[in-house]
Amino acid sequence: MKKKNFKDFKFVSGGVCASKGFLANGIHCGLKLDSNPDKNDLAMIYAEKKCNASAMYTTNKVQGAPITVTKKNLQDGTAQAVIVNSVNANTCNADGIEKAERMCQATAKALGLQPEDIIVASTGVIGQPLPIEPIITGIPELAKGLNSKGNTSAVNAIMTTDTKPKEVAVKFMLNDKTCTLGGMLKGSGMIHPNMATTLTFLTTDCNISSEMLQNALHEVVAVTLNRVSVDGDMSTNDMVCILANGEAENNLIQAVSPEYEIFKDALYAVLMNLARMMARDGEGATKLIECLCDGAKDDKTAEIVAKSVIMSSLFKAAIFGEDANWGRILCAIGYAPAEFDIQQVAVNLSSAKGCIAVCRNGAGVEFSEEQAKKILSEEEILVSITVGTGVGSAVAWGCDLTYDYVRINGDYRS
């Protein structure tokens, strides 16, 4: 799946509330005794009618209890609400599944639904018992405050070490019907493929089957969320889920078709931009790194090379120091587990301040250190790599490695 031209999509505000028929809310229920009362810690998303639904989950062998419960609830391919807390991940706890089920039961009671209609998620500290009482007490208030502009309070509730809310929504046409797809994401640390290195919640009023939602999610996550790495650590609670209520009244998408391809491109527009936001907001980060690899024999080879570069701790540290130490790029390319001719490798570094060539034919070329410093002083850095004359290409996203990353993770529990 190549990088898309988004001219046919209109980016709009609203996040998970941008699509017709979806409400949200977020509150501070007090999961941490000394927490800031202005920081929400419990969120809800509600669809006014039952939705086709699909999800993907972390591949970590240690998985949070909410994932186990959500997998069970989504077996029929439908859902109508999401309940999610931050502060505590509800992972590696003997009573974790019982508490995740209680969250579903309380949400269902407040909304007049069945517990199996609920997607449940948690994020935060691993291995600490989840205080369930504040959640159960807070859910009726949370449900009562659901509204069509509640995306702002909801996205605030899922943030942990995130410094910025992450929301994207687009409008697009399917035949003569206007459809909308929007979402919110939390993710700053423990960001590493595969799947999905984050909590991501997506809503759409497009009329599409759960089977095709699943197909689209797998295809698009592979080239967006799974192309991001901040620190090489994969979370235990990663989840991306999507709800589709059909309110746009387009003809049901239930097979691969031109309409399905348009929907998939809209999903890419949302998830690619959320992925970039996540990389830019990596814990302690000051810069977004985008690595584009082309000329490979196939897209998979290009992906492996691009990921290898954005995951290099030495290169990430060099970008923080605004040092054009291109040898670290070549080193990361060289240990990537892929086949290509290193003698054909070329590398450019660029930003809004310009572009410089640092490597040709696998060897260094002369460049101005002063110009390089100026280029690397920008907040967004593009590393362009060519590894041959093939048709394969891929893009991956990461961030620099700073002193603050260690500071944040040195006292995360306190």
Encode the chain (414 residues) as per-residue pLDDT tens digits. Answer: 444 567 789 999 999 999 999 999 999 999 987 677 889 999 999 999 999 999 999 877 778 899 999 999 999 999 999 999 999 999 999 999 999 999 999 999 999 999 999 999 999 888 899 999 999 999 999 999 999 999 999 999 998 878 889 999 999 999 899 999 999 998 754 445 554 458 999 999 999 999 999 999 999 999 999 888 765 556 677 899 999 999 999 999 999 999 999 999 999 999 999 988 888 876 667 899 999 999 999 999 999 999 999 989 899 999 999 999 999 999 999 999 999 999 999 999 999 999 999 999 999 999 999 999 999 999 999 999 999 999 999 999 998 887 776 766 666 544
How far are the Cα atoms of 132, 136, 242 from residue 73, in angstroms, in the given order? 20, 19, 14
Residues 218 and 129 in one domain: yes
Cα dihedral 234→237→238→241 (10° resolution) = 170
Residues 368 and 259 in one domain: no
Residues 209 and 310 in one domain: no
How far are the Cα atoms of 47, 147, 183, 203, 352 from residue 20, in angstroms, in the given order? 9, 12, 13, 9, 38
The percent of the chain in helix, strand and coil, each rounded to the nearest 5, is 35, 30, 40
Q: Of the residues 248, 280, 312, which one is the last residue of a structural domain?
A: 280
- The pLDDT value recorded for residue 188 is 57
CATH number for the domain that contains residue 223: 3.60.70.12
Give the integer Cα–Cα distance in Å for 248 and 207: 7
How far are the Cα atoms of 70, 105, 200, 246 from residue 136, in angstroms, in the given order? 18, 9, 23, 31
- The pLDDT value recorded for residue 196 is 46
Q: How many CB atoms lie within 10 A of CB 407?
A: 11
Amino acid at 60: N
Residues 58 and 171 in one domain: yes
Residues 99 and 134 in one domain: yes
- The pLDDT value recorded for residue 414 is 46
Nearest of 392, 292, 291 to residue 340 by alpha carbon = 392
Amino acid at 283: E
Burial of 370 (0-12, 13-18, 19+ CB in 10 A): exposed
Residues 130 and 198 in one domain: yes
Within-domain flag for 128: yes
Q: Of the residues 261, 280, 299, which one is the last residue of a structural domain?
A: 280
How far are the Cα atoms of 101, 121, 133, 198 from residue 130, in angstroms, in the given order? 12, 12, 9, 19
Residues 268 and 354 in one domain: no
Indicate which residues carry an active-site annotation. Answer: 197
Q: Of the residues 280, 302, 329, which one is the last residue of a structural domain?
A: 280
Residue carrying structure tokens 């070549």: 330
Token pair for 300: 């998979």
Residues 170 and 275 in one domain: yes
Q: Could you check whether the bond before residue 89 is cis, i.e. omega within 30 degrees of 0? A: no
Within-domain flag for 314: yes
Residues 211 and 147 in one domain: yes
Token pair for 91: 């992972």
CATH number for the domain that contains residue 331: 3.10.20.340
Strands 166-174 and 10-12, how do they pair? antiparallel
Residues 116 and 229 in one domain: yes
Q: Could you check whether the bond before residue 273 is cis, i.e. omega within 30 degrees of 0? A: no
Within-domain flag for 1: no
Domain count, the chain: 2
User: What is the residue range of 12's domain?
Assistant: 6-280
Amino acid at 106: A
In contact, 325 and 311? CB cutoff 8 Å: no
